[in-house]
Amino acid sequence: MNVSSDDTGREWVDPDDAPEWTDEMFDMAQHSVNGQVVRPATGVLTKDGMKRVAPFIIPMPGRPPLGDTPKKQVTLRLDADLLENLRASGPGWQSRINAALRKAVGIS
């Protein structure tokens, strides 16, 4: 069972304390109209100020397309130490489990 923690380890920053936007920030920001990118961003905001980068378009949030053979969601009970070890291996751990199971049953 997951245990909820009140301490997220991050300090709260009051939005009213945010710095004022400069002309440079506006010049490098992405510009969208009705959800369509009119001008991609040409910079990113860092702790040290603005950093110019090659133009890029920020992807829309949400799930990627499922494709022809979407995976099925299942409920599976695993030993706690096994699950902890798998999750500790980092992002993509569920895909690695899928690959290991495919190999174990002879589907490559």
Q: Which two tokens stand for residue 97?
A: 């489990």
pLDDT at 13: 77
Q: Is the dihedral of CA 76, 80, 86, 89 positive or negative?
A: positive
* Residue range 90-101: mean pLDDT, rounded: 90
Backbone angles phi, psi at 56, to 5 degrees: -145, 160
pLDDT at 48: 81
The string of pLDDT tens digits covering residues 43-92 is: 888 888 788 887 666 666 677 777 788 888 899 999 999 999 999 988 88
CA–CA dist 24, 52 (Å, integer): 10
Cβ atoms within 10 A of the Cβ of 28, count?
Answer: 19
Would you kindly state where each structural domain of the chain is located, as residue ranges?
19-56, 75-108
